[in-house]
Copies of this chain bind each other. A is one copy, B any other.
Amino acid sequence: MASLRVALAQVDPTVGDIAGNLALVQGAVARAAEARADVVVLPEMVLTGYPIEDLVFRQGILDDNLAALDEVATSSGDMAVVLGYLDRDDDGPRNAAAFCVDGAVTARYFKHHLPNYGVFDEARYFARGTEFTVVPFREHRIALTICEDLWQDGGPFAAARESRADLVLCLNGSPYERCKDDARLALVRRRAAEATAPVGYVNMVGGQDELVFDGDSMVVAADGELLARAPQFAEHLLVHDFAGPAQPIAPRLDDCAELWGALVTGTRDYVRKNGFTSAVLGLSGGIDSAVTATIAVDALGAEAVHAIAMPSAYSSQGSLDDAEDLARRQGIPYLVVPIEPAVKAYQEMLADTGGLHGLAQENLQARVRGTLLMALSNEHGHLVLTTGNKSELATGFSTLYGDSAGGWAVIKDVPKTKVWELARWRNAEAARRGETAPIPEASITKPPSAELAPGQVDEDRLPPYDVLDAILEAYVENDRDRDDIVASGFDAATVDRVIRLVDLAEYKRRQNPPGPKLSSKSFGRDRRLPITNAYRPAR
């Protein structure tokens, strides 16, 4: 194609912060102008943030975002600015893109394909666009598309070809999912071929509640060649000149690095965008709290992370040593508060009722810890991070209002086997950088235990984690039926036990704090099941 310099602005908007998002857009416009771009492109609904859920229905947010769009349009010059915003007409709210140039909005596009599966509810929010938009711009014809338009066959990309567009822009709010990246590049390539035109794909970065946007903006030629690609999990202005020299292509992160990036980004943005500057968590000496603390330190800095060890009569000295070791390695403020006095007080208070035994006594210990963390949170303003992993959340292997008490569940979508893998990866990463390993080896290698009863280990109650995680992947992430899972080689009694645990723990998950979605099916809006559910697939 003829000379055109495109700038893709991979930014991190905040839902509802329209003034802040406008400033982000203006900053990107200024930097694109410095880079002498012809067109600068910003993500889907960048002015409101994304997804805004039922805020779509508020007149105020609509009005404010239209005023912000007007400001962008009015101050536009000969460089075109293309950005996502919220519109509304007689058919309802619109997930929209505007093409601004020479002081005005010269074209609009309304998203055609509205995702209404997984975490998405766009059929609830938006009226579907039906018109195609191809904008004549200098000697070019630029087609506009938004996110899901890319994921569905047919539609705007085919129309771009018919209307002889020589560039298709795609504005995205596309959340990170493990292993989604390659699918994304393959899709952009497929659509470029369908349009017989290059595609400029811009995605946001940052966290919005459970979603983490990874960026990964790119330019792909009509023949599928990857011309430019932005790094993941970082704001970036990706400038590509179709007549210029080749651009550096940001290397892809490997699986663990990508996961870690999503965990750190999601945690940093949830804390920051909700007005917190510090976090507190319980350190048990085990692998889950060790990895959670390390993610928090990478996200917030060591001085902003407060670790509390809360040993009971059943805590081993080794665990306490490992907790202290971790805090020392990472320079985290560290405090030890034994829980025995409160546990004893409750037992005495309930002595007349017959006292507490077994599980009730175990849960009590976890709730004393939860209460201590919340007390420190209320007194000092730290956000409480919970440390439960996905395998626990799946099977209900946690105490409601105990270890699940807190504001952000950092590793709620990381299966236990992956927690270990991430720990090893993070320590190896430190070694590569010549730094101290952040996580004590003993926390990685010892048998996992909740230490709520003498000599207890997790495998007393759960199958070995490699078996458990494989069954959970089949049942939860892949929605496979019981018979199908058994047929693939798992012990039938074990499968039945795991399925029953998962089904019965729905009420606990419903009261769990949010945490970053990483998999294709996290325990959040991805998976909507009734609590009251008598269906028992087990035979």
State whether B353 touches A55 (Cβ < 8 A).
no
Task: Name the B residues within 8 Å of A535 (CB-CB).
Answer: 15-18, 55, 58, 60-61
Given known A335-B353, A530-B55, contact A371–B123 (CB-CB < 8 A): no
Q: Does A456 contact B (CB under 8 A)?
A: no
Nearest Cβ on chain B to A118's Cβ, whole angstroms:
9
Q: Which residue of B lies closest to A367 (CB)?
A: B371
* Stretch in A291-299, A416-424, A507-515 with 4+ CB within 8 Å of B: A507-515
Within the assembled complex, what's the spacing in Å between the Cα atoms of A357 and B381? 12
State whether B15 touches A371 (Cβ < 8 A).
no
Q: Which of B371, B507, B529 contacts A53 (CB 8 A)?
A: B529
Q: Which residue of B lies closest to A118 (CB)?
A: B124
Within the assembled complex, what's the spacing in Å between the Cα atoms of A53 and B528? 6
Nearest Cβ on chain B to A411's Cβ, whole angstroms:
18
* Stretch in A73-81, A239-247, A336-344, A444-452 with 4+ CB within 8 Å of B: A336-344
Central interface residue in A59, A368, A379, by most chain B CB within 10 Å: A379
Task: Name the B residues within 8 Å of A17 (CB-CB).
Answer: 534-535
Q: Does A186 contact B (CB under 8 A)?
A: no
State whether A60 touches B364 (Cβ < 8 A).
no
Nearest Cβ on chain B to A117's Cβ, whole angstroms:
6
Nearest Cβ on chain B to A293's Cβ, whole angstroms:
18
Q: Does A249 contact B (CB under 8 A)?
A: no
Q: Which of B270, B479, B512 contacts A58 (CB 8 A)?
A: B479
Task: Name the B residues within 8 Å of A374 (CB-CB).
Answer: 363, 367, 400-401
Q: Which of B49, B57, B341, B401 contacts A370 (CB 8 A)?
A: B401
In residues 391-438 of chain A, which contact B (Cβ within 8 Å)? 400-401, 405, 407
Task: Name the B residues within 8 Å of A52 (CB-CB).
Answer: 530
Within the assembled complex, what's the spacing in Å between the Cα atoms of A55 and B535? 9
Number of copies of chain A assembled together = 2
State whether A530 touches B51 (Cβ < 8 A).
yes
Q: Does A442 contact B (CB under 8 A)?
A: no
A106-122 interface code vs B (CB 8 A; 1 in, 0 out): 00000000001100010
State whether A372 touches B360 (Cβ < 8 A).
no
Q: Does A350 contact B (CB under 8 A)?
A: yes
Within the assembled complex, what's the spacing in Å between the Cα atoms of A55 and B338? 44
Q: Does A376 contact B (CB under 8 A)?
A: yes
Q: Does A257 contact B (CB under 8 A)?
A: no
State whether A348 touches B337 (Cβ < 8 A).
no
State whether B479 touches A531 (Cβ < 8 A).
no
Given known A371-B368, A378-B356, contact A532–B270 (CB-CB < 8 A): yes
State whether A342 touches B353 (Cβ < 8 A).
no
Q: Which of B20, B123, B481, B536 contacts A123 (CB 8 A)?
A: B123
State whether A54 touches B527 (Cβ < 8 A).
yes
Task: Name the B residues within 8 Å of A269 (CB-CB).
Answer: 532
Within the assembled complex, what's the spacing in Å between the Cα atoms of A337 and B346? 10
Task: Name the B residues within 8 Å of A401 (CB-CB).
Answer: 367, 370-371, 374, 401, 405
Central interface residue in A116, A346, A375, by most chain B CB within 10 Å: A375
Task: Name the B residues within 8 Å of A54 (CB-CB).
Answer: 527-529
Within the assembled complex, what's the spacing in Å between the Cα atoms of A349 and B345? 12
State whether A16 touches B534 (Cβ < 8 A).
yes
In residues 471-487 of chain A, which contact B (Cβ within 8 Å)? 479, 481-484
Q: Does A522 contact B (CB under 8 A)?
A: no
Within the assembled complex, what's the spacing in Å between the Cα atoms of A356 and B374? 11
In residues 351-373 of chain A, which contact B (Cβ within 8 Å)? 352-357, 359-360, 363-364, 367-368, 370-372
Q: Does A488 contact B (CB under 8 A)?
A: no
Q: Which of B53, B344, B527, B533 contacts A16 (CB 8 A)?
A: B533
Given known A270-B532, A378-B356, A532-B14, contact A537–B60 (CB-CB < 8 A): yes
Q: Does A208 contact B (CB under 8 A)?
A: yes
Closest 9 A/B residue pairs (Cβ):
A16-B535, A17-B534, A360-B378, A360-B379, A345-B345, A123-B123, A16-B534, A401-B401, A341-B345
Q: Can you list 21 residue pairs at the A/B interface with Cβ under 8 Å?
A: A16-B536, A49-B534, A51-B530, A55-B529, A55-B535, A57-B479, A58-B537, A121-B124, A124-B528, A270-B532, A341-B348, A344-B345, A346-B375, A350-B375, A350-B379, A353-B376, A353-B379, A360-B378, A364-B371, A400-B405, A511-B513
**A residues neighboring B (CB under 8 Å):** 14-18, 20, 49, 51-55, 57-61, 116-117, 121, 123-124, 207-209, 269-270, 273-274, 335, 337-339, 341-342, 344-346, 348-350, 352-357, 359-360, 363-364, 367-368, 370-372, 374-376, 378-379, 400-401, 405, 407, 479, 481-484, 507, 510-514, 527-537
